[in-house]
Amino acid sequence: MNLSLKWLNDYVKADMKIEKFARGMTMSGSKVEKWTDLSEPLKNIVCGRVISIEKHADSDKLWVAQVDAGNNAGESAEGGTVTGGSPVQIVTGAQNVTANALVPVVLEGGVVYNFHDGTVTKISRGKLRGVESCGMMCSYNELGLTLEDLPYADKDGILILDSDPEAAKLEPGMDMLEFLGIRDIAVEFEITNNRPDCLSVIGLAREAGATFNLPVDVKKPAFKGVDGELNLKVRIENKELCSRYMGAVVRNVKIAPSPRWLTERLRASGVRAINNLVDITNFVMLEYGHPMHAFDKRYVDGDEIVVRSAAEGEKIVLLDGEERVLCADTLVIADAKKPIAIAGVMGGEFSGIMDDTKEVVFESACFDGVSVRKTAQRIGRRTESSARFEKGIDAANAENALLRALELVELLGCGEVVKTIIDEDFSCREPVKIKFDYKRINEILGSDIPENKQKEILKRLGFEFENCQSNDNCQLCVVPSIRIDMALECDLAEEVARIYGYNEIPSSVPRVFSGVASAPELAFEEKVGAVVQGQGCHECMTFSFISQKSYERAGIEDCESVIIRNPLGEETGVMRTSMLPSMLEVLARNYNNRNAAGRFYETGTVYLPSDNKLADEKKILCIGLYGESEDFLTLKGIIEELLERLGINAKLTPIISNKSYHGGRCAELTADGDVLGVMGEIHPLVRDNFDIGTRAFCAELKLEKLMHYSIAAPKFKQLPKFPAMTRDLSLLCCPEITAGEIAEIISGSAANLEQVTLFDMYTGAQVPEGKKSMSYKLVFRKKDATLTDEETDKAVAKILRALENKNITLR
Amino acid sequence: MIKETLAQIEELGGRALAAIKESADLDTVNDLRVKILGKKGELTAVLKTMGRLSAEERPVIGARANEVREAVEKAISEQMKKLKLLHYESRIRKEAIDVTLPGKRAASGKPHPMSIVLGDLKDIFRSMGYTVVTGPEIEETRYVFDMLNTHEGHPARDESDTFYVSDDVILRTQTSSVQIRTMLENKPPIAVISPGRVFRRDEVDATHSPVFNQCEALVVDKGITFADLKGTLETFMKRLYGSSVKLRFRPHHFPYTEPSAEVDLSCFKCGGSGCSMCKNEGWIEMLGAGVVHPQVLRNCGIDPEIYSGFAFGVGLERITMMRYEIDDMRHLYENDIRFLKQF
């Protein structure tokens, strides 16, 4: 909402400094976003009378004028002032200036807009073909105005003010910015949804009055009217969506430009002036916050207005020239034959005011907000009118608006108002009354505001008080009808608090004890994060939605996902059921950003479709890495460290069928036969699909499972009391035999074996063709005695026998 | 005989001490020890002749021999200590390295900056007696909207603002849904924070993301007031930003709180004098807050005549971006390692 401060001051003398005004309004709840001095950057522009004008001696096109600019002084380029009083010599190329004409003159040091490109231009003294020029006469656009503001202006020449309706007031030297109504400040407010009444000058005047404790002078508008036949019927068919419809007829309409005081207020509010009748509807909407419409009565067929739901498929051409096909949910204003406007949104093609309009119907109605909003959305036109209706309308204000419009018609002399007005009123207008208990309000606020202070604040806001009928000690607060947001005690509390000042209310810290248990998985997630961070992985955060196509790209088959009905785009169309595509995107982005290596992880949510209404949301730990020194085993090292820290005893099984992963470098992790997750090198095809030009490795682990199998507090094991014996074994075997199998054979065949560690693996020279060498360190220890060499050798012999059975021999 | 032996001892002692003093390395000193004090050492040999002495002479010689022995032992130990030190000093000189060479790191990964901020928030609220709760991200409209006084037809429910899965299932637009679930499942006293992801239909740009993180707080108990909300937020913000920050409460509107407020923080960069971070206003808009609307409590089976509460919510992205002076929200979701390594 853009508010003209000048307009506001018609109702409340809020003439303090703009900074103070803005702060005060913001702190009482009408947030000022910014303000604009409308005269900026214009400067030093006065009214001048051309004393004489003659041809430039050295030019065909230039003229030299002597202009009386009153007693004003310009600023010389050196910063000093130029003595005023004497005529100013101005050289001009304009051809429409004559002696005695009144013109706007920008004096030396003044600022105007450039005629051609609108840039800000400072005027200095100069010579044009040898003749000194000490200022400039201005055209309308050099003053930042339009032909709508100044309909009499010459399009290509200097603005000749003699044709101005208010020319009689002009004198040389007069401030042009004041005269043309440019001296004003437009204040931009952010009005919250609950306060549609503040989308108006009067609403904000009331707020300013309450905020600064100033009297607000709003009179009930009135018109005289003329006797005569109305020749108009109004019928509301859909009373649910239209609770009140007021109409009035203006005859003998004279379409003309509006007076300056009106157009300048519209302009400051960001609305273009059009003609007196249209301007009146806009003016009233801005002033009272109630949208209005004016129909040319010629085009109201049958002199009848019907407010009804559109017939399915019914068509209307709107003011914007486009045809819309309507549905039955749309409320329309129709005449006897056809819809002539979409209620509260926009008028139809011929419904508007034209230059030859003779008779006008003013509409001031109450349409249902939700309906208007949905209709505006459906037809893709959100208008100033619909924006106001959708937030809610006060039925009582409809009358004020109509009366104000009719008052203005008479004030502007643009027609005769027929005395009888139509009021089809089905609105419920019982005033809202809220029990007023100052102690209760203090209880809500935690404050100690005295009763009389609270009442004084509420009265300032237009509330009234009365006693309950039942009980003398009980008071009721009567809500002004315009305040459609008021219903409960807590609403009153906010009113008191915001005018009293939120920051004046004391602060206290409650001693709270939560009876709600914390979610245990959060702490677990933090622990897991800390471990993988310790392994060099950086935490990522990726979007929860992905492209449906990314499953296929990632080698994930048959993936049914929760689908977003209205996604931003295909790229973010479904809720992920796997973390892998997100992680691959991270790896790809890093790779393509030329980061040589990286380790990443995310504990992200996947959303699995379920038979319930909501998805099954699961947390997945996804690890991803790439880089020269990374391989399957570096990834496995991270996983091993994690499992050890969590106390999980997991088994690794090779998996060849997972299409996301390299068939020879992928494994499934299980605990007690339950799948914890999968890890491996990414399949080269998948890497290509994601444009990752190097080997990449990922793991996906189910956090819920990890938590289930994790041991929160491992039990202490006694430290060994007796020394250990160690033996190294270098073995030769077929390459197909895995390290895991060998370790299993070794562990399964000897007593007192404490540890088996593979410390070397080798193929090549010195190893027979088709064999590999595996070297193990074995640690033996007895719990209760020192192990002897002999016992150890026996154990080793047993191990070797077991290995030989599997064709694994000592090297 | 005694004179002879004494002279022998003196001579031996003098020679030994001189040799020890002159010895230049530990091996020499060790050799000397063996040569003089060892089983077959010179002093031992002298002492072995003591048997030939008379009972009167023996203690005299013995005493003197022990004195010399002690002196030699002491000299050996001192010389060894001195030589060891010299030895180490020379080794240390040889082993000197360039300490300005880069360190060899077992590089740890880092938490996402938003995790760091969330961790701080959790610490602060846990220390104030709150617990941390979570809830589903794909949520029913009744928990996100209806029960929070945001009824059918409210603009927040528009398909232009909210992601829909079906007519009554959406991606939650606020974590207030978790508060509703908490109130439905628990009796007051309730003091919880509900951090988590929320979704709004905003295109990605420097200040918007369709996915972002909120941390909301809810307190419901007997006698909870607007003043309590103010005090709690002041404590929270001072713990997060330091004790010199000031808070400013401005009236605002939310369907689920009344009274409602927007809270500004005195700019922690300029302290309120105006800078680019606060757009020269001295204040930074931080969060929305308010006293829980009685209808919301009633919707959750809590009697507003007995209990009252407050709630507020902050955006994690906002706090994170301001704390680390991150100028573009996209960095937070692009996960470039050069970004992630910085925090």
What is the tens place of the pLDDT at every residue in B262-292?
A: 999 998 778 888 888 888 888 999 999 999 9
Q: What is the CATH number of the domain that holds B309?
A: 3.30.930.10
Q: What residues 135-164 of chain B have any CB closer than 8 A to a CB of chain A?
A: 136-140, 152-153, 155, 158-160, 163-164
Out of A447, A503, A600, name the one closest to residue B335 (CB). A600
Residue B26 pLDDT class (50, 70, 90 cuts): confident
The pLDDT assigned to A412 comes to: 94
d(CA A97, CA A156): 12
Out of B109, B191, B203, name the one closest to residue A532 (CB). B109
In a domain, B165, yes or no: yes
Interchain pair B134, A532: CB under 8 A = no
CATH 3.30.70.380 in chain A, residues? 725-810
d(CA A768, CA A774): 13
| Weakest-pLDDT range from A129-143, A496-510, B327-341 | A129-143
Looking at the fold, whether B83 and B132 belong to one and the same domain comes out as no
Chain B residues whose CB is inside 8 A of the A31 CB are 250, 252, 262
From B51, B66, B95, the end of a domain falls on B95
Q: Tell me the pLDDT tens digit for each residue of A579-634.
A: 999 999 999 999 999 999 999 999 999 999 999 999 999 999 999 999 999 999 99
Chain B residues whose CB is inside 8 A of the A370 CB are 152-153
Mean pLDDT for the stretch of residues A380-398 = 91
Mean pLDDT for the stretch of residues A547-570 = 93
d(CA A254, CA B232): 63
Interchain pair B134, A521: CB under 8 A = yes
Looking at the fold, whether B82 and B120 belong to one and the same domain comes out as no
Interchain pair B221, A512: CB under 8 A = yes
Task: For domain A520-709, give the CATH number.
Answer: 3.30.930.10
Chain B residues whose CB is inside 8 A of the A539 CB are 109-112, 115, 340
Interchain pair A512, B189: CB under 8 A = yes
Looking at the fold, whether B262 and B289 belong to one and the same domain comes out as yes
| Weakest-pLDDT range from A85-99, B169-183, B328-342 | A85-99
Q: Tell me the pLDDT tens digit for each residue of A9-29.
A: 999 999 999 999 999 999 999
Residue A75 pLDDT class (50, 70, 90 cuts): low
From B49, B64, B95, the end of a domain falls on B95
Q: Tell me the pLDDT tens digit for each residue of A47-65.
A: 999 999 999 888 888 999 9
Smallest CA–CA distance, residue A521 to chain B, in Å, is 10
Query: Between these two residues, A217 and B45, which has the higher pLDDT value?
Result: A217
Smallest CA–CA distance, residue A418 to chain B, in Å, is 39
Domain total in chain B: 2
The pLDDT assigned to B48 comes to: 80
CA A440 to chain centre: 36
A725-810 fold: Alpha-Beta Plaits (3.30.70)
Residue A781 pLDDT class (50, 70, 90 cuts): very high
Looking at the fold, whether B289 and B144 belong to one and the same domain comes out as yes
| Weakest-pLDDT range from A71-85, A151-165, B260-274 | A71-85
Question: A309: closest CA among A283, A332, A282, A275?
Answer: A332
From B67, B95, B123, the end of a domain falls on B95
Interchain pair B114, A541: CB under 8 A = yes
Residue A80 pLDDT class (50, 70, 90 cuts): very low
Looking at the fold, whether B208 and B151 belong to one and the same domain comes out as yes
Interchain pair B111, A533: CB under 8 A = yes
Looking at the fold, whether B119 and B263 belong to one and the same domain comes out as yes
Going from the C-alpha of B295 to that of each of A434, B218, B226, B303, the distances in angstroms are: 16, 15, 17, 9
Smallest CA–CA distance, residue B220 to chain A, in Å, is 9
CATH 2.40.50.140 in chain A, residues? 43-179
Looking at the fold, whether B133 and B207 belong to one and the same domain comes out as yes
Question: Read out DSSP for B51-106?
Answer: GGS-TTHHHHHHHHHHHHHHHHHHHHHHHHHHHHHHHHHHHHHHH---TTSPPP--
Q: Tell me the pLDDT tens digit for each residue of B34-86.
A: 888 888 888 888 778 777 778 888 888 888 888 888 988 999 999 999 999 99
Q: Tell me the pLDDT tens digit for each residue of A497-534.
A: 999 999 999 999 998 888 888 888 999 999 999 999 99
Smallest CA–CA distance, residue A607 to chain B, in Å, is 8
The proportion of chain A whose per-residue pLDDT surpasses 70, expressed as a percent, equals: 98
The proportion of chain A whose per-residue pLDDT surpasses 90, expressed as a percent, equals: 74
Provide φ and ψ at A558, rounded to 5°. Answer: 45, 55
Q: Tell me the pLDDT tens digit for each residue of A273-307.
A: 889 999 999 999 999 999 999 999 999 999 999 99
Interchain pair A614, B140: CB under 8 A = yes
In a domain, B103, yes or no: no
The pLDDT assigned to A72 comes to: 67
CATH architecture of A434-504: 2-Layer Sandwich (3.30)
Q: Quote the ipTM score.
A: 0.87
B218 lies in which domain range? 113-340
The pLDDT assigned to B320 comes to: 94
Mean pLDDT for the stretch of residues B237-257 = 93
In a domain, B101, yes or no: no
CATH 3.30.56.10 in chain A, residues? 2-38+184-212, 434-504
Smallest CA–CA distance, residue B99 to chain A, in Å, is 25
Looking at the fold, whether B73 and B201 belong to one and the same domain comes out as no
d(CA A471, CA A746): 94
Question: Read out DSSP for A397-438?
Answer: HHHHHHHHHHHHHHHHT--EEBS--EEEE----PPPEEEE-H
Any idea what DSSP says for residue A235?
Answer: E
Is A473's pLDDT higher than 80? no
Q: Which pairs count as long-range contacts for A254-259, CB under 8 Å and 24+ apart, including other chains?
A: A254/A413, A254/A414, A254/A415, A255/A353, A255/A354, A255/A355, A255/A356, A255/A357, A255/A414, A256/A414, A257/A151, A258/A412, A259/A165, A259/A412
The average confidence (pLDDT) of chain A is: 92
d(CA A433, CA A295): 38
Is A77's pLDDT higher than 50? no
A233-425 fold: Phenylalanyl-tRNA Synthetase; Chain B, domain 3 (3.50.40)
Mean pLDDT for the stretch of residues A121-125 = 90
CATH architecture of A43-179: Beta Barrel (2.40)
Mean pLDDT for the stretch of residues B107-113 = 94
Looking at the fold, whether B228 and B274 belong to one and the same domain comes out as yes
Interchain pair A444, B291: CB under 8 A = yes
Looking at the fold, whether B166 and B89 belong to one and the same domain comes out as no
Is B325's pLDDT higher than 70? yes
The pLDDT assigned to A74 comes to: 58
Q: Is the dihedral of CA A295, A297, A301, A307 positive or negative?
A: positive
In a domain, B143, yes or no: yes
Is B211's pLDDT higher than 60? yes
Interchain pair B191, A545: CB under 8 A = no
In a domain, B106, yes or no: no
Query: Which chain A residue is nearest to residue B219, measuring alpha carbons?
Result: A512
The average confidence (pLDDT) of chain B is: 91
Query: Which chain B residue is nearest to residue A370, measuring alpha carbons?
Result: B153
Q: Tell me the pLDDT tens digit for each residue of B125-154.
A: 999 999 999 999 999 999 999 999 998 888
The proportion of chain B whose per-residue pLDDT surpasses 70, expressed as a percent, equals: 100
In A469-559, alpha helices (H):
489-500, 520-534, 549-553
Out of B110, B230, B294, name the one closest to residue A507 (CB). B230
d(CA A226, CA A350): 27
CATH architecture of A2-38+184-212: 2-Layer Sandwich (3.30)
Chain A residues whose CB is inside 8 A of the B308 CB are 444
Looking at the fold, whether B156 and B71 belong to one and the same domain comes out as no
d(CA B120, CA B320): 11
Looking at the fold, whether B57 and B138 belong to one and the same domain comes out as no
Out of A447, A539, A605, name the one closest to residue B227 (CB). A447
In a domain, B102, yes or no: no
Smallest CA–CA distance, residue A438 to chain B, in Å, is 15
Q: What residues 501-560 of chain A have any CB closer than 8 A to a CB of chain B?
A: 502-503, 505-519, 521-522, 526, 529, 532-545
Chain A residues whose CB is inside 8 A of the B130 CB are 512, 514
Helix (H, G, I), strand (E, B) or coil at A183: coil
The model carries a pTM of 0.86
In a domain, B104, yes or no: no
